[in-house]
Structure 1
Amino acid sequence: FSVGDVCSKITVAADEDSKIIKSYDASMPMHEAMARRVSYVIAPDGKILYEYTSLSPDQHVENTLRALKAWAAQHPQQ
């Protein structure tokens, strides 16, 4: 995907031992080694500002951008 579709412009990572999935409580209920489709907006201080969970990818970008813009409006210096 990264090499063919976006010419390596994004970083792709693997979570082989599910540490990241577990640390964000993002595992699927019936299959703990698989992550739910969840998007986060994380502030520079590491605080999770917004979380959106849906199996459908349709609203993830729109919703997270809205949350990011709201945060940015309240923090113009950061």
Structure 2
Amino acid sequence: MRAMMIAALAAAGFAASADAALKSGATAADFTTRGALAGKVFTLNLKEQLKKGPVVLYFFPAAFTPGCSAEARAFAEHIGDFKAAGASVIGMSADPVDKLADFSTKDCANKFPVASAGPRVISDYDVALTYTGRDGKAATITNRTSYVIAPDGHIIFSLTDPAAGPHVQNTLDTVRAYAKAHPTHS
């Protein structure tokens, strides 16, 4: 069944990018971390989120940078479309949760949670990106990568692209195709 769905999505043009970290069909690692929604910090668990339907898990490099702010605002603008397709959206970065709490109110417009990706999540999702600051010190941030994860925990779409623009439309198209193929989850 899962293979048929992945094949259908691929035929519709929703195959993983050549640069994507984890490929369609891979099992998404479960995690529990601290997240924020509307400025309130809470514990976020992927397995619990998947009980509600597909999850768009998108990683972004750093809160309050131009591209990441634009991407968050675009996801917030389309959150109704994601919900209509039965999906939820979670943004993740290596930022500390207090910074993400502020980001969740400003750029995410209180519409979806953002969570702090620790070293294990960054490794499990293959999104580590080394950044060298103006001070010459290297730090690990998260690469701009989006995943759509089916309720069974398998990745059905992945995209790694430094441009923020393609992530919202591509993940939305994928969850709509998933909802059409699985009407009981939408």
Whether these two folds match at TM > 0.5 is yes
TM-score interval, normalised by the smaller of the two chains: 0.7 to 0.9
Alignment of 1:56-75 (within 5 A): 56-75=163-182
CA distance 1:14–1:58, shift in 2 (3 Å)? same
Q: Partner of 1:38 in structure 2? A: 145
Deviation (angstroms), 1:3: 2.9
Q: Partner of 1:10 in structure 2? A: 112
Structure with higher Rg: it is 2
Alignment of 1:18-33 (within 5 A): 18-28=119-129, 31=130, 33=140
Q: Secondary structure at the match of 2:156?
A: strand
Q: Which runs of no fewer than 5 residues in structure 1 stay unpaired?
A: none
Deviations 1:21-72 (A, max 9, x none): 11111112xx172211001100011100000110000110000111111111
Question: TM-score, structure 1 length as denominator?
Answer: 0.80
Q: Partner of 1:48 in structure 2? A: 155
Distance 1:4 1:50 in 2: 28
The one-letter amino acid paired with 1:20 is V
The one-letter amino acid paired with 1:3 is T
Identity of aligned pairs, percent? 39
Which structure is higher in helix share?
A: 2
The one-letter amino acid paired with 1:76 is P
Distance 2:147 2:106 in 1: 26
The size of the alignment, in residue pairs, is 74
Question: TM-score, structure 2 length as denominator?
Answer: 0.37
The one-letter amino acid paired with 1:50 is F
Q: Secondary structure at the match of 1:40?
A: strand
Q: RCO (CA 8 Å, sep 6+): is it higher in 1 or 2?
A: 2
What is the root-mean-square deviation of aligned Cα atoms in Å?
1.7
